[in-house]
Amino acid sequence: MIINDELIKKISVLARLEVHESENESLKNDMQKIINYFEILDEIDTSQTLPMYTPIESNAQLRRTDNSYSECADRIIQNFPEKEGRLFKVPSIYGKLLESQRRTCNKVS
């Protein structure tokens, strides 16, 4: 594959890159080196090679999951200021409503 000015222009449009004329020659050389390297790799016979899903071929031992009861959980729930049974109430992830937002919400409802 030969990299020319027309291909550089087409790729820059597709990639939405602004390429100045002064950069064309350098870009062509760099892209040609990349293409040449892939052409070398393309010559390697990989017909007997199995596909890999990860470069690390190890069988990691997974830990056993134990469902166990913790005395610590009871103490945490017991000390929580607002709770209902074994559930505890926490601040909203949305934060507190500003006074102006509160008035708007009250008008709507």
pLDDT tens column, 29-70:
999 999 999 999 999 998 998 887 777 777 777 778 777 766
Instruction: Pick the range with the lowest mean pLDDT from 9-18, 30-39, 82-91, 98-107.
Output: 98-107
Distance separating alpha carbons of residues 77 and 85, to the nearest angstrom: 9
Task: Please provide the average confidence, as pLDDT, over all residues in the chain.
Answer: 81
Provide the b/e sequence for 61-70 (b: ≥16 CB within 10 Å). Answer: eeeeeeeeee
- Report whether pLDDT(97) > 80: no
pTM of the complete model? 0.44
Mean pLDDT of 78-90: 81
Q: Which sequence spans correspond to the domains of the chain?
A: 5-42, 75-108
- Report whether pLDDT(101) > 60: no
